[in-house]
A and B are shown apart, each in its own frame.
Chain A
Amino acid sequence: DAMVIQNPRYQVTQFGKPVTLSCSQTLNHNVMYWYQQKSSQAPKLLFHYYDKDFNNEADTPDNFQSRRPNTSFCFLDIRSPGLGDAAMYLCATSSLRTSGVYEQYFGPGTRLTVT
């Protein structure tokens, strides 16, 4: 089945130690998103790629970076994780249709713990 896959599902890192979260998709969608979701809060968009074009949300900290080497893969790099970065990180994809109608397909998320 076509899907959005996130690895690992659970990630533990130490304060200040760089960490990379990965996302892959078999949907061949041209748009990929990264969201941060903290406990009992709504998902917050960090950035998205439209094809290879990177779009950063204005309030996304510089500590967060992303790479999209090809259509299928996208990575979230946290350069120096702080305790406040502990959260669920969600990857999503969408295929922008000419009508402007779209839906996002979300992965299961990676829960990041910072010790």
Chain B
Amino acid sequence: LAKTTQPISMDSYEGQEVNITCSHNNIATNDYITWYQQFPSQGPRFIIQGYKTKVTNEVASLFIPADRKSSTLSLPRVSLSDTAVYYCLVGEYDKIIFGKGTRLHILP
């Protein structure tokens, strides 16, 4: 199973763009890359998913290089409410391991 490595924590300021990078060196051919956001005492919430290149939705962008050994979640113009833990997952629907996550703290 592909293991993911993310920074333990990050700080940023309101209005800034935040990029969180995840390493997954042994990603398998069938694996997708998925990011979740979790607030305290809540279940994780799906942000974005991709297989290769770039994916964008109304919340974030996901950049995946050609070798797929890493991915970067980009959050444009963050606000205080984006303070949360962000998890990068790699796998198929039945082979899911949450990494330790990145605790993002947005400062005013």
Residues of A within 8 A of B (CB): 4, 31, 33, 35, 41-45, 48, 50, 55, 88, 90, 92, 94, 96, 100-109, 111
Q: Is the CB of A100 within 8 A of B94?
A: no
**Given A101-B32, A103-B34, A45–B42 Cβ distance below 8 Å?**
no
Q: Is the CB of B46 within 8 A of A105?
A: yes
Given A55-B94, A101-B32, 7 additional A-B pairs, CB 8 A: A31-B94, A92-B43, A100-B32, A100-B93, A103-B34, A105-B46, A111-B41
Q: Is the CB of B49 within 8 A of A101?
A: yes
Quick one: which of A42, A48, A100, A102 contacts B100, CB cutoff 8 A? Answer: A42
Residues of B within 8 A of A (CB): 30, 32, 34, 36, 41-46, 49, 51, 87, 92-94, 96-101
Q: Is the CB of B42 within 8 A of A108?
A: yes
CA distance in complex: A4, B46 (Å): 14
Interface SS of chain A: helix, strand, loop or mixed? Answer: strand
Closest to A45 in B: B96
**Given A42-B100, A101-B49, A109–B42 Cβ distance below 8 Å?**
yes
Closest to B87 in A: A42
Q: Which residues does chain B contribute within 8 Å of A90, judged by CB atoms? A: 43-44
Quick one: which of B36, B45, B93 contacts A102, CB cutoff 8 A? Answer: B93
Distance to closest chain A CB from B92 (angstroms): 7
Q: Is the CB of A108 within 8 A of B43?
A: yes
Q: Which residues does chain A contribute within 8 Å of B94, judged by CB atoms? A: 31, 48, 50, 55
Q: Which residues does chain A contribute within 8 Å of B92, judged by CB atoms? A: 100
Distance to closest chain A CB from B2 (angstroms): 14
